[in-house]
Amino acid sequence: MNAAERLASSYEALCAHTRETALLQSVQALLEWDDRTQLPTAAGPYRAEQAACLAGMVHRRQTAPEVGGWLDELAASPLVEDPHSDAGTVVRRLRREYEKKRRLPPTLVEQLARLSARGQQVWAAARKASDFGQFLPVLAETVDLKRQEAAALGFATTPYDPLLDDYEPGTATTEVAAVLDSLVASLRPLLQAILASDRGPDGRLLARRYALDAQREFGMAAARAIGFDFSAGRLDVTDHPFCTTLGPRDVRLTTRYREDDFGDAFFSILHEAGHGLYEQGLPAASFGLPLSLATSLGIHESQSRLWENQIGRSRSFWEGLFPAARAAFPEALRGVEFAAFYRDVNRVAPSLIRVDADEITYNLHIGIRFELERALLEDDLQPADLPAAWNAKYDAYLGVVPPDDAQGVLQDVHWSAGLFGYFPTYALGNLYAAQFYAQAAEDLGDLEGQVRRGEFQPLLQWLRSRIHAHGSRYEARELVERVTGRPLSERPWIEQMTRKYADVYRLD
Ligand code: ZN
């Protein structure tokens, strides 16, 4: 074998090893899906053993010395000269994962895994009792371990950087802070103007009685209409909606139904179908390699938000769909005018709970969490002072004060599970979505007309070719620049929201 042949065979071996690890990871995903949709309560403990066993196998394979050997051999080879080539992408992504995992001491990894499992249990009990004091020791320990993790991974400016990098690779905390700070600054006067209007919708039309079967049919029809392929996917019921991929042709969506809340199921189906369309558009031939993985959580969220909000809450979407909605829900929508329904779909109301937030206030919920978790990690805020800091920010940003910890600082599972650096990806998703949407509208010409006529293929093909097909070839910041010609900015989102809500709330 000459040198080139040896490199090619190392690359093949690395890919084969990685694809086999992906088989195990897809089994992990299947167990997790089952856990959240089907699993009988009593089956929990054995499932936890299955999950721990698989997690150990996956971790050993990802950090195996031969992986390091192949990566070293390939590092300076002509195969990876172009970082955006297939081999360049595979090696770059695997090296990042390998180095991060190898830098963490096994004892710290174990401590974090155990604390995450225990933390979620303690958090659930504390939330039920609405007692932050019960959660405080676990939170303090988690912050301490996450700081140790950041130190082991290494950072130049803030311990937040290496943690954010797990979810938004290649994006720095300072970049996120700059864009979210501007976002919050522009958002607050817009929210003030909306709240000052006495001509806004009250949202009551969506709280009428919507038959559950009809909701399911209507939601599935909408997911199918925007392009979700149900021959390679399913929709099931869960408590907290999610989307997961179990194989190259197996994407699972989940939702929940409430008779007196049309929006809860419908918009979560559109949201999860948006995630599902991204997954179905990733290059299936490369399944198991980083090439067929989403490039970041923020980009993933942009795909769900674009279909949920830019499309699903738009006037043109409902102009097209409203007759079908009236046919599907003849009782609930009897005598209801299209315009009233559209305005109710876009009601804005500051609230305490992030997951129930409207399109406008949602980003403020995220801004608050981003500021607080950074302060915790940077030691500018002590865990014991978190509830007071939380309540002060809710008062300042949203004008609401939680009456108790359950509706305040204890509402999200993330921190109890050790997920620091995750929250900003939700807001980044909203901003990427708006920037992509603006570009698509420019490129496609009559996007609103297409949406009104129920022609979603042009937009889907646009997303497929510019975003989905690339998998993780480009990092989020590169992808945004390639697709839109400019770096991420909050401006497109602010412009779209200002225009839309001036109409919905009849602002002058
Ligand atoms: Zn999502």
The helix/strand/coil state of 30 is: helix
Q: What is the DSSP string of 396-439?
A: HHHS---SSSTTTTTS-SGGGGT--S-THHHHHHHHHHHHHHHH
Instruction: Write down all domains in the chain, each with its CATH number in brackets.
Output: 3-154 (no CATH), 173-504 (1.10.1370.30)
* Per-residue confidence (pLDDT) for residue 117, from 0 to 100: 84
H/E element holding 394?
Answer: helix 386-398
Distance CA 138, CA 133 (A): 10
Q: Is 272 a catalytic residue?
A: yes
**Cβ 358 vs Cβ 348: under 8 Å:** yes
* Residue 52 pLDDT: 86
pLDDT tens per residue, range 236-265: 999 899 999 999 999 999 999 999 999 999
Pairing status of strand 243-247 against strand 250-255: antiparallel
pLDDT of amino acid 385: 98
The answer to whether 479 and 299 have CB atoms below 8 angstroms apart is yes
Q: Where are the alpha helices (DSSP H) in 63-172?
A: 65-75, 86-103, 106-129, 132-153, 160-164
DSSP state of 380: S
Give the Cα separation of 352 and 453 in Å (integer). 37
- Amino acid, single-letter form, for residue 210: Y
CB 400 within 8 A of CB 351: yes
Measured in angstroms, how far is the CA atom of residue 67 from the centroid of ligand 1? 32
Ligand 1 geometric centre to CA of 75 (Å): 35
How is residue 499 written in tokens? 């225009």
- The series of mean pLDDT values per 10 residues for the chain, 508 residues long, is 91 98 96 92 88 90 96 93 96 96 91 88 94 97 97 96 96 96 94 94 95 98 98 95 96 97 97 98 96 97 98 98 97 96 97 95 97 98 98 96 97 95 98 98 97 98 98 97 97 97 92
Q: How many helices (H) and strands (E) does the chain have?
A: 20, 3
3-state secondary structure of 449: helix
CA of 273 to the centre of ligand 1 (A): 10
Rounded to whole angstroms, the Cα distance separating 382 from 374 reads 11
Q: Residue 493: helix, strand or coil by DSSP? A: helix
The enclosing H or E element of 457 equals helix 457-466
Pick from 501, 481, 502: which is nearest to 435 by CA? 481
Of the candidates 397, 468, 404, 450, the residue with the CA atom closest to the CA atom of residue 229: 468
* Active-site annotation holder among 73, 168, 272, 475: 272
Distance 275 CA to ligand 1 centre (A): 7
Beta partners for residue 280, in sequence order: none
Pick the closest to residue 362 from 151, 184, 225 (CA basis).
Answer: 184
Query: Cα dist. 328→21, 215, 271, 323, 331 in Å?
Result: 45, 8, 21, 9, 9
Which residues, including other chains, have CB under 8 Å from residue 342's CB and lie 6 or more apart?
315, 318, 319, 322, 504
Quote the ligand 1 centre to 301 CA distance (angstroms): 5
User: Residue 348: its pLDDT value, please?
Assistant: 97
Residues with a beta carbon under 5 angstroms from ion ligand 1: 304
Contact 104, 149 (CB under 8 A): yes
What pLDDT shows up at residue 116? 87
Q: Report CA(242)–ligand 1 centroid distance (Å).
A: 7
Backbone angles phi, psi at 2, to 5 degrees: -85, 180
Q: What tokens were used for 25? A: 């990871």
Which residues does 448 contact at the CB level (< 8 Å), separation at least 6? 314, 316, 441
Distance of CA 274 from the midpoint of ligand 1 (Å): 8
The pTM of this model reads 0.96
Which residues, 6 or more positions from 465, have their beta carbon under 8 angstroms from its beta carbon? none
For position 48, what pLDDT does the model report? 84
What string of DSSP letters covers 209-222? ---HHHHHHHHHHH
